[in-house]
Amino acid sequence: MSVRLAIDIGGTFTDATLIDEETGEVAIAKVLTTPADPSEGFMQAVDRALAEGGVAAAQVSFVVHATTVATNAIIEGKIARSGFVTTEGFRDLLEIARQVRPSLYDTQFEKAKPLVPRDRAVVVGERLGPKGEVLRPLEDDSVRDAAAILRREGVESVAVCLLHAYVNPDHEQRVGVILAEELPGIPVSLSSDVAPEFREYLRASTTVINAVIRPVVERYLQRIEGRLEAAGIEAKLLVMQSSGGIFGSGAASVRPVFMVESGPAAGVIASAYLGETLGQPDILSFDMGGTTAKVGLIQGGRPSVTKDYNVGGHAGAGIGGMSLSGYPVRTPVVDLVEIGAGGGSIAWVDSGGLLRVGPQSAGADPGPVCYRRGGVEPTVTDANVVLGRLNPNYFLGGEIGLDVDGASRAIEERCAGPLGLTVTEAANGIVEIANAAMVNALHLISVQRGYDPRDFVLVGFGGAGPVHANALARDAEMPTLLIPRSPGIFSATGLLTTDLKRDTATTIMRRLDDLDRIEVEAVFAGLEVEGRAELAGEGLADEAIEFVRQIDLRYVGQSYELTVPAGDRLLERFHAEHDRTYGFNAPEEPVEVVSLRLTTIGRIAKPPARPLEAGDCPAPKERRPVYFAEAGDYVDCPIYDRYALPAGARFDGPAIVEEFDSTTVVHPHFAVTVDDVGNLIILREAP
């Protein structure tokens, strides 16, 4: 018997999924996250999953991990003391940054402080031209002088970004060699290795982020591996990347910038895999946890991936749902709209007397008031408890007894009283405000990107996702809602359905009609050799490795490019994508190639889905009053045990479906059907 283990650390809960590779049998665990030391909650989840599955540590074949440790290090400022090395004359590159602002007319806006201050930014004597030609040879002594300054500053890590190193990396490579000699044991991140693409500040910012989190992530992964080894688990540790693939812990330690958005990506990949197995290629994934809600788009079975995103910015998204504050990162990332609306999001009344929800969260410690862990601020979870949607005696399978009276008092004191509302009215208002924000996020990821959400299936998951998903599908007029089995740990399950992945790119900047196809083939072939070597080092057989080629194109004179698949009908694809993205195209205009991109994929066998036995719908396990705004009052609502529902079972809303890791709320005028593998399919009833 061989099993796979996945651990997903979130802001409130740490989830574990254990799957038997042969039978597909699943064991799950969900424990509170331990913010002071996430590895503590990690091992609690591991131990519980092994106990639930009744398997020994030695039977684990591999462990996959998604974590927010990199993101949190940047947001909380708990980063390594790092240095920055650049070309003479460009010392202020990080200080100048960009001219964009999250709010165009906000005169009080202040740019984020550079992750490496100016007194640890040093220069070296060298200069390359835009085609990589040497205008000034590298002066080795200047590198040694820079190293001496950084040594005195006591740096733990160094980022190197020289002008035009994406075209010719020779000077950067030489700088890396000298720094390794002068600063032994100090990790050095080279922009030509991390992000070999044009746009100096983006390349520098990406490399600096890699440098400042590298020691943090390396220590964290070593701690995890040490704990696993002590527990008798000798399996290789794999880590989720921002792009939706996984890579080994060794690669993650060297290139941690590729895992900054590790946690949120897993749910989108799980949704894509679920859609593939059900023949549903177009999906909007909705993941609501304790701290945030995240929405992703999957079209044609492929998650939407972007090359640019910001990390460590202010709360709230800018135009298109992308925050313009914080630090830009130039690596592939699953395209998500993330908002501060989770089960732990705090409800409050602002100075104008309006009820607000989030973005502040009660998190795991102290958590919502109803958790009885010292929380005093009412949250979305408290509101759902008051409305009867959560069972106070069956939260996490009964592990946490919820304090309904405490939640009610908190809403009365902080929200209902100041607004002159009843507790029920205030609780419903909290839920409706959170729902409105999440529907807006659905529109940002779909309508604002040129897609109609009514053409997609909504997949709801996360601990709080199924509680709110039906209301979102109703308000966004989406015809089909799908709630997977064990939705509360669905992201952890998704870690076991993804493949090893390595993303690389090379900037070439050439007009398409001047492009030498032999040169392009040589560049792709070189990237394939590198990708194959890295994945072979992870133990993958040659026949399991695949390559996906893409090209960044733009009209000559444009500032930004679009990524399209390489191959035949390249121009036709580009014009079509430009029309979909921007609403127009210009086939008569000349087109230029910006970058060549290669994704190396190492296919991993997926565990089989477990079919569910068919049968008639059982009677509800109980009934209780649950508030629905459509009914205008509490309704005597049937409560179903999800584990007792066979394939083919059907029932009408309003209803509640309870399971260990989540609760599904079915609104009036909707009907539920259980499919062959246990998913809940929720459809609007015909009027």
Q: Residue 228 belongs to a domain with what CATH number?
A: 3.30.420.40
Closest CA to 664 of 682, 686, 647, 685: 682
Phi-psi region of 250 (alpha: psi -120 to 50; beta: other; left: phi over 0): alpha
- Is position 512 within any domain? yes
Q: Are residues 592 and 505 in the same domain?
A: yes
Q: Are residues 105 and 207 in the same domain?
A: yes
What Cα–Cα distance (Å) separates residue 386 from each residue in 46, 347, 410, 442, 571? 33, 14, 11, 27, 57
pLDDT of residue 520: 93
Q: Are residues 114 and 70 in the same domain?
A: no
- Is position 540 within any domain? yes
Q: Are residues 68 and 88 in the same domain?
A: no
pLDDT of residue 313: 56
Residue 236 buriedness (CB in 10 A; 0-12 / 13-18 / 19+): middle
CA angle 668/671/676 to nearest 5° reads 150
Intervals of the chain under pLDDT 50: 314-323
Q: Are residues 85 and 201 in the same domain?
A: yes
- Is position 548 within any domain? yes
Domain count, the chain: 3
pLDDT of residue 324: 54
Q: Are residues 118 and 69 in the same domain?
A: no
Q: Are residues 63 and 99 in the same domain?
A: no
- Is position 428 within any domain? no
| CA 475 from centre of chain | 25
- Is position 650 within any domain? no
Please identify which residue in the block is written with the tokens 């991390």: 194
Q: Are residues 236 and 194 in the same domain?
A: no
pTM for the structure as a whole: 0.85
CATH number at residue 159: 3.40.50
Q: Are residues 26 and 104 in the same domain?
A: no
- Is position 25 within any domain? yes
Q: Which residues contact 25 (CB under 8 A, 6 or more apart)?
A: 19, 53, 610
Please identify which residue in the block is written with the tokens 């862990």: 373
| Integer Cα distance of 433 and 420 in angstroms | 17
Q: At what angle do helices 423-445 and 404-411 cross, to 10 degrees?
A: 80
Q: Are residues 210 and 108 in the same domain?
A: yes
| Alpha helices (H) along 324-422 | 380-386, 404-411, 417-419
Closest CA to 296 of 306, 284, 308: 284
| Integer Cα distance of 341 and 345 in angstroms | 6
- The one-letter code for the residue type at 565 is P
| Integer Cα distance of 279 and 567 in angstroms | 26
How many Å from the N-terminal Cα to the C-terminal Cα in the chain?
A: 51
Total Cβ atoms within 10 A of residue 574: 23
pLDDT of residue 316: 39
- Is position 584 within any domain? yes
Mark 607-628 as b/e (b = at least 16 C-beta within 10 Å): bebeebeeeebeebeeeeebbb
Please identify which residue in the block is written with the tokens 């390359």: 128
CATH number at residue 577: 3.30.1490
Total Cβ atoms within 10 A of residue 589: 13
- Is position 112 within any domain? yes
Q: Are residues 523 and 552 in the same domain?
A: yes
Q: What is the dihedral of CA 403, 406, 407, 413, to 10 degrees?
A: 180
Closest CA to 126 of 115, 134, 114, 118: 134
Pull the structure tokens for residue 350. Answer: 């602002």
Please identify which residue in the block is written with the tokens 């130039």: 330
pLDDT of residue 67: 86
CA angle 470/306/280 to nearest 5° reads 40
Picking from 567, 602, 637, the residue at the C-terminal end of a domain is 602
Domain that includes residue 597, residue range: 499-602
pLDDT of residue 317: 37
Q: What sign results for the dihedral spanned by CA atoms 508, 514, 519, 525?
A: positive
Q: Which pLDDT tens digit goes with each residue over 123-180? A: 999 999 999 999 999 999 999 999 999 999 999 999 999 999 999 999 999 999 999 9
Q: Are residues 60 and 92 in the same domain?
A: no
Q: In sequence order, what are the beta bridge partners of 333?
A: 306
Closest CA to 241 of 333, 111, 308: 333
Cis peptide before 654 (omega within 30 of 0): yes
